[in-house]
Chain A
Amino acid sequence: MTTVDLTTLDLASLKTDLKSLIVVECDKDIEPGSIDDDAILIGGDLDLDSLDALQISMAVKNRYGVSIEGGPEARRALKSVNTLADTILNFQRD
């Protein structure tokens, strides 16, 4: 399992990373850069569903070592690339 070292990752490159992760994991035929930082991920224009949410959560766990628990916490974390990045960075500070 490869876990990215979060101490060497700045916010901008983390977000770029996450967009690529979303495109790959959810098999979206779009440019990662076309995802806005605050675009709604699940149920928004990106047309991602609850299975995509689970797929992203597991990929985030494998890549960054950050567990996103189910329920309201997951819904908050997976709202947008911004909230996902915040969740990952805040997890690191805990």
Chain B
Amino acid sequence: MTDNVLAQELVAQFQTRYPSGATVHGNLRFPIDQFSITVLFGPSGCGKTTILRCLAGLHRPQQGVIRFGSETWLDTNAKVCRSPQERDIGFLFQDYALFPHLTVSQNVGYGLNQLSAVARQQRVGEMLSALKLTGMEARYPHQISGGQQQRAALARVLARRPRLLLLDEPLSAIDNSLRAQLRTELRSVLTEFCIPVVLVTHDPAEARELAHRVVDMSDGQSTMTNADDLG
């Protein structure tokens, strides 16, 4: 597998077992030098989030390899497993995981410690403006709506300019009536930031509308299909 890895591709082939004995197979390959959305699609419990957590370094698979371009993130044979901090990824959790004791502004600037105070403030301002959160700076997460929480979490993740964006059911906590509108907004923001995305969903409409390619996990395996071929 490793012989024909392109320098600008993410290649992941791994498997991990749950304590119950069920095995999840991760099999992904997509370019990382251009914007694209790879959707992991399948019913609840099929292991979509587990694959995302393996990519993030939050879960260590029993066996396999994950390479990001020329970097090895995971190689179980060579006992290599980079921490989430070393992978430079952005992870949007299903419940957004905004820090409840920090304001929206502090949440967005949380991962920007490497920047000077002035640069950090400027970046936070840019992100709040880009995600239509201006005026919400001083509010706490529980003081804003679900849609605003989603945008604040996305702003926090994007503020660091990660090399890969991992989104775990980003619209599942949103009301059905708002979901279609936010789907369009999400796609537009992701396109603007031009970062390759892996997105988990069990919603066929979400998969159809957002995906450039779909990894169907319905049968316990990972079968990758280009969105154009889905019909």
Q: Do A and B come from one complex?
A: no
